[in-house]
Structures are given as C-alpha cells and as structure tokens.
Chain A
Amino acid sequence: MITNNQIDSGKVVRKRIFSRMLRNRSMTIGFSLVMLMVVIAIIAPIVSPFGPMDIDPNLRLKPPNKTHIFGTDNIGQDVFSRALWGSRISLLTGFLIVLTAGSLGIVLGLIAGYSRSFDAITMRILDGLMAFPTTLLAIALMAVLGARLSNVIIALAIVYTPSVTRVVRSVVLVIKETEYIEAARSIGNSNLRIILKHILPNCMAPIIVQGSFIFAQSILAEAALSFLGVGVPPWIPSWGSIMTGGRLFINVAPWIIFFPGLFVLVTVLGLNLFGDGLRDVLDPRLRGL
C-alpha cells in the first residue's frame, strides 16, 4: 500500500535533484550550449541566407564579408549557411548513434548481467572490440561499408555499444544481489518484470551520463571521419564534411575550417559539461572521475 507520505518523499527527492541540477553550474552551461546548437539546427532553413548546396563560382575562397559572414569555400559555397545546415546533419547523426548504441547496449547489458552463459560469450567479444582504438575501428568499418551517412551511424554505433553494455552490466550485477530484488523475486515477479520495473530504472542514471559522453564522442568522430573522407560524403553538409575541402586551402582560406570547427567545439564542450554536471548531480560518489 502506498501512503501519502511515500508519494511526498518521491516528490521531494525529485525536487531536490532538480534544484541540484539548476545549481550545478557546469550542467546549466552545458545544457544551454547544447540547446543553442539544437535551436540553430531547427531554425537553419529560416535563417541561413543561402541554400546549403548553392554554388557561386565567381565567389570562390572569399574571406568573411557582409553577405558571406563566414566567407566562401573553394567551390563558392557560403560557409555560414553550410555550417547552419551542417548542425542538422551532425546533431542528428550524433543523436541516432547514441540512440542505437544506447538501446543495443542496454539490451545486451541487461541480458549479460542476468544470464551467465550469454555473459561469457558477449563480454569476450566486446572485450575484443574494445581492444581496437575507437577511431581506427570506425575507419576500418567505414572502409568496408562505404562512405555513406547511414554507414557512419552503423559504424559508430558498433564502436560505442561495448562501453554502454559494460556500464549497464556492471550496474545490473550490483543491483541483482540487493535485498529488494530478492524480495521482488520472492513474491513471484517474473524475471522480465524484475528487469523492466526494478533493474532498468536503476541503470538509467549512469546510462544517461554515459550517453551524453558518447554523444560528444560521436560528434567528434563523425567530424573526423568526414574530414578524412571516409564519413559523410562532401555534398551532404555535416560539420566534418564542410571542413574536408578546406584542408588544401588552409593557407589562403582558413575560415572554411575555422567556423565549422568552432561549432563542433561548442557542441562537444556543451555535451561534456552537461555529462560532467549530470554525473555530479545524479551520483555524487563518482565526482572527480
């Protein structure tokens, strides 16, 4: 039976966490930065002065000026408009990577934490995957899959799934042994119900923290892959693919690289700050790690 008192204490806890979030400076700054980029991505079609594919061959490699505030690139495209449109591709790609790696990792982690035989096999394979440096594995996967936007998501989701799985599994292994799970089992709850109702909610805090760092990592990785020419193809504007053409013109037109890179930096900084803050708020024991 749930008493009024219990409902109140739940509210109080939630209120306390929320006020701690507001007071956590790195979290508020991080959240604002990320939201700023999200807003830019949403309003990109309205505010960008040129289309992302518009080419003006007469205005190649022009430095920042009134009409082209971030300058133009080597084929005469407006860097400002492309950077704004690039926010959509880059943020969406990052988000889809987090979503895919997150859901895969949660499912694998929950099963691995619960079933010993599954655990033995899965964790060995994931250990093997983690023996590869992430960027290198992503590059190799992109090499065989081919440079396409959807493949960037697949490759990076494969790369980041092991770390989510590990986090989920380690939490499950701890919670599984607690008394309230024993209690839940002794009153006849099914395994599925215990996992969904009692174990998964307890995994959410570390998953969200991990998710924000993976989001940050995926945006960096997507930019690097596209910059190297094995990620998003150059005609689709993502922050990385905008910069790839700028490398050869760095001595005459550094603005092609400078501004899109700044967008990446601000977004990743925001996500890292957010993740750091969130970790402090949700789990003070992990502070400083």
Chain B
Amino acid sequence: MREYILKRIAALIPVLLIVGLIGFTLLSLIPGDPAAVMLGPEASMEDIIALRSEMGLDLPAPVRLFRWYVRLFQGDLGYSIFLYRPVLQAIIERLEPTMLLTFMALIIAGVLGITMGITAAIKRGTFIDQMVMSLSLLGLSIPSFWLALILIVFFALTLGLFPVAGYSPIEDGWWKTLHHLTLPAFTLGFIQSAFIARMTRSSMLEVLNQDYIRTAKAKGLGFYKVIVVHALRNAFIPIVTVMGLSLGGLMAGAIVVETVFALPGIGQLVLASISRRDYPMVQGILLFIASVYVLVNFLVDVLYVILDPRIKYV
C-alpha cells in the first residue's frame, strides 16, 4: 500500500512540472511585451522597464523558467500587479464561495447522478430509462449560464424563493450562505450529474449481468442488498473516477456560474483580473486550479485501492 502511494506520488511530479511549464508559457503568448501590455498604452518607458525587471522579463528564458520552478516549489504563485499582494493570498481570500459552491454542486451531482444512473440501469429499456437518459442528455447540452439565468428568472424573480444574486459569508450564518448558494449549486450540479448518471448506468449494467448478482438474487437476498451491497459496490470504481474528473469541470463551471450569480469567488477574480490585465493573477489561478485537480485525481487513484482490493499495488 505504502509503496503504491509512493509510486503514485512519483508519477505526480512530471505532470506537475508540465503543468508549471504550461503556466509559464502562458505569459509568453501575450502578443508584444507583457510589461507594456499590462501597464496599458499610457505607461511611461521607465515604468515598463521597472516592471520588466521586477517580473524578471529581462532575463533569458531558461533562467526565468528555473526561477519560476524554484518559486513554485516554495509555494509562491507570483505577485498581483493590481491588488498589490501575493497571488496565493488573493486566491485564498476568494476561496470560500468557490469551494462551497463546488462542494455543494458535487454533492448534488453525485446524489442526482448516481440515483438517476441506478434507476435507469434497473429499469433498462423502459420509459423511465428513456426519461433519465433524455434528462442527462439535456444536462450535457445546456449552456450553464443559460440554465442559471432561466433558474433566476423562474425561482428568484418570479417566485421570489431565492436571492437573485450575491453571496453571504459563512460568518453571517450558515443558513443564509446555503440559501444564496442553492441556485448556483443546483445549476452546476444538474449539469455535472449528466456525466455521472451515464457512467453509473453503464457500469451498473455491466455489473448486473455478472454471475455473482444472479447468485445473490438466487440465494434470496432482498432487492436492496443485491443492488446496493453487491452491485453498486462493484460498479463504484468508474463512478468514483467520474466524480474525481467532475471536480475539474465543476471548478471551471463555477467560474461561469459565479459570474451570473455575482458570487465573489475565484471565477470573478479571474475575469476581473483579465480586464485589469493582471496576468500574474490569471496565471496563478490557472496553476492553482490545475494543481488542485491533479491532486484530487491522485487521491481518487488511492481511493481505488481502498474500494477495490482486487487492484494490486502495481
């Protein structure tokens, strides 16, 4: 077990190095001189030169890359040229709404998706199966911001059940926070549940055909025991993978949905930074989310071994 985890960690390093390299490359895609672009057309030559040397742009690329890796290794994601504070600090300040939104959406997506998938698999070929599959197809095809706006029109503007937009931090009370996050989390959760439902259905169908399910039924086990204990447990590996992969989609989706609901999270920070041409911030957020994503998928890999002892630690 420990050997397996160590091997997985070793495999993590090249991916993180490449992620860092891609983040590094991002700024060099800016057409022209990044310092001049960031400071805008009215900047004086002295300011541009000062920013260039501050960002190390006057150094040769290999030196910059080396310094960049050293900094990343120390957990330094850079310095925001607009907010005058370290990028990581700015991200952490904005983390609460995004984390809560992603987490709530993941729960909604998981519960909705797994329920839908199991139901469809058990009722395979029936009207219920078709309904579930159509619903998941709808989830795959609907633009998230559009669904968000439709939900706002219906549940917030017409029925007045939820706030139209905005956020209430946890310190002002959990209930208010949940109330503000319900519509955004449902938007994201519904869309992501489509993937999970499809995966759950197909992996349940595969398991339901196995001999041990026939045996379980034959020895007279109840419906619940057969489905939940015998089938679902075995169908869980691909489902957990999709849930892990979902996290990336959810965090990216959160950027879009946060904007619609005016939630002061990382998504808003990214978009505001783009209009301020605060590229170190954009770069830092990109790296932050990618690292979280890579780490979560690493944890999912480790979780496999716990869920399925058949997977040998190779």
Contact = CB atoms under 8 A, between A and B. Distances in A.
Do chains A and B interact in one complex?
A: yes
Interface of A: 124-125, 127-129, 131-137, 139-146, 216, 220, 223-224, 227-230, 243, 246-247, 250-251, 254, 257-258, 261, 264-265, 268-269, 272-273, 276, 288-289
B95 to A, nearest CB: 15
Given A135-B256, A137-B286, A250-B149, A127 B18 contact: yes
B252 A250 contact: no
A133 B251 contact: yes
A227 B270 CA distance: 15
A244 B30 CA distance: 25
A251 B260 CA distance: 13
Nearest to A260: B146
B252 A243 contact: no
Interface stretch (B49-57, B79-87, B135-143, B299-307): B135-143
A265 B19 contact: no
Contacts, number: 144
Given A136-B289, A143-B282, A144-B26, A269 B141 contact: yes
A264 to B, nearest CB: 5
Given A132-B293, A254-B149, A261-B146, A144 B251 contact: no
A173 B167 CA distance: 50
Given A131-B18, A146-B31, A254-B149, 15 more contacts: A125-B22, A132-B289, A133-B251, A134-B249, A135-B256, A136-B285, A136-B286, A139-B255, A143-B270, A143-B279, A143-B282, A216-B141, A250-B149, A257-B149, A289-B202
B29 A264 contact: no
B152 interface: yes
Nearest to A223: B143
5 contacts: A124-B18, A131-B293, A136-B285, A146-B31, A289-B202
Shortest beta-carbon contacts, A-B, top 3: A128-B18, A133-B252, A261-B146
Contacts of A142: 274
B22 A128 contact: yes
A265 B146 contact: yes
A125 B153 contact: no
Contacts of A265: 141-143, 146
B207 to A, nearest CB: 12
Interface string B265-283: 0000011011100010011
Nearest to B21: A128
Contacts of A135: 249, 252-253, 255-256
Contacts of A224: 143-145, 256
Contacts of A273: 137
A6 to B, nearest CB: 36
Interface in B186-204: 198, 201-202
A228 B146 CA distance: 12
A144 B18 contact: no
Contacts of B31: 145-146
Q: Which of B21, B22, B26, B145 has the most CB of A within 10 A?
A: B145
B150 interface: yes
Contact of B290 (A132, A139, A251, A261): A132
A146 B275 CA distance: 10
A133 B202 CA distance: 24
Contact of B270 (A125, A139, A141): A139
A125 B293 CA distance: 16
Nearest to A276: B137
Given A137-B286, A140-B26, A228-B256, A131 B15 contact: yes
A250 B153 contact: yes
Contact of B22 (A132, A223, A228, A254): A132
Q: Which of A132, A134, A135, A144 has the most CB of B within 10 A?
A: A144
B266 to A, nearest CB: 10
Contact of B293 (A129, A133, A261): A133
Nearest to B17: A128
Contacts of B275: 229
